[in-house]
Amino acid sequence: MQLRKAKNSDVPQIRALINEMAARTDEDYKHGHMLPRSLTELYEHVRDYTVMVDENQRVLGCCALHSAWDGLAELKALAVDDAAQGNGWGRKLVDAALGEAETLGIDCVFTLTNKDEFFKKLDFHYIDMRKLPQRVWSECTACPKFMVACDEVAMTFRGAQPKQTFIPAVGVHASPAARAALGIVAPGPMNPDASRPPFGAQNGNAPRNDE
Ligand SMILES: CC(C)(COP(=O)(O)OP(=O)(O)OC[C@H]1O[C@@H](n2cnc3c(N)ncnc32)[C@H](O)[C@@H]1OP(=O)(O)O)[C@@H](O)C(=O)NCCC(=O)NCCS
């Protein structure tokens, strides 16, 4: 058994592993174990995945690390085949994802999980889910349990707190009145001088498109 980065050809097996877990219900028949994933999503995000394979390249485990925002990544889609559980592979898959986060220079790794007792053992701590940027909830809004039966909590490795990034809600050339209406009094970090769009040249001497 070994861990390696996923290949494009692993996707059907990753999908089967995750979706078999996702289709299960707990004893109270209320909660599946994890979110199902489509082939499209997996092919698009295959570079996020580490897999655990046997000598025949059969996928028996997987875990993804998805860079989500400034200094923030999500650890998700963790699964270990029933036959391989209880042997430390879940921990190794999480460790591999944490190692990638370090390589990427990401300080805060979060997970949304209903296996909090497992993640506690791996030094993950509860945080207030509302501290995560709203865009990381995009998967939540597609979940059948969203708002009605969510059983997941947010946890971060070593209790790291996500950066509270200020994002201008209006264009950088918005009128003072529009800014005032939104209570925006200071420029955000994406455009420190508030005079150029965040996708524009960062070099102060570079010409603007309209100059
Ligand atoms: C959760 C899961 C990945 C754990 O994989 P695993 O290979 O059995 O985990 P490990 O053997 O690495 O366990 C590491 C530690 O966590 C403990 N642990 C494992 N599963 C646990 C659970 N559900 N609750 C509490 N502790 C758990 C182990 O006892 C071990 O503790 P130890 O270090 O004190 O001995 C696996 O059970 C699984 O795939 N579950 C279904 C899918 C799922 O729920 N994924 C998580 C989605 S958020």
User: What is this structure's pTM?
Assistant: 0.83
Report all structural domains of the chain as residue ranges with CATH numbers, in order of start. 2-157 (3.40.630.30), 166-205 (no CATH)
What does the pLDDT profile of the chain (211 residues) look like in tens digits? 999 999 999 999 999 999 998 888 766 445 567 888 999 999 999 999 999 999 999 999 999 999 999 999 999 999 999 999 999 999 999 999 999 999 999 999 999 998 999 999 999 999 998 888 877 888 888 887 888 888 889 999 999 999 876 655 566 676 777 777 767 665 554 555 555 444 444 444 444 444 3
Look at residue 203 in the predicted model and tell me its pLDDT: 45
155: Cβ below 6 Å to ligand 1?
no
88: Cβ below 6 Å to ligand 1?
yes
Calculate how far, in angstroms, residue 88's C-alpha sits from the geometric centre of ligand 1.
Answer: 8
Calculate how far, in angstroms, residue 78's C-alpha sits from the geometric centre of ligand 1.
Answer: 10
Report helix, strand or coil for 178. Answer: helix
Calculate how far, in angstroms, residue 139's C-alpha sits from the geometric centre of ligand 1.
Answer: 23
Atom of ligand 1 nearest to the CA of 93: 12
Look at residue 184 in the predicted model and tell me its pLDDT: 65
Output the six-digit token pair for 159: 């209790």
Report helix, strand or coil for 56. Answer: coil
Look at residue 149 in the predicted model and tell me its pLDDT: 80
Pairing of strands 59-69, 2-5: unpaired
24: Cβ below 6 Å to ligand 1?
no
82-94: b (≥16 Cβ within 10 Å) or e: eeeeeeebbebbb
Sign of CA dihedral 84, 87, 89, 90: positive
136: Cβ below 6 Å to ligand 1?
no
Output the six-digit token pair for 146: 């969203």
Calculate how far, in angstroms, residue 185's C-alpha sits from the geometric centre of ligand 1.
Answer: 47
Atom of ligand 1 nearest to the CA of 85: 8
83: Cβ below 6 Å to ligand 1?
no
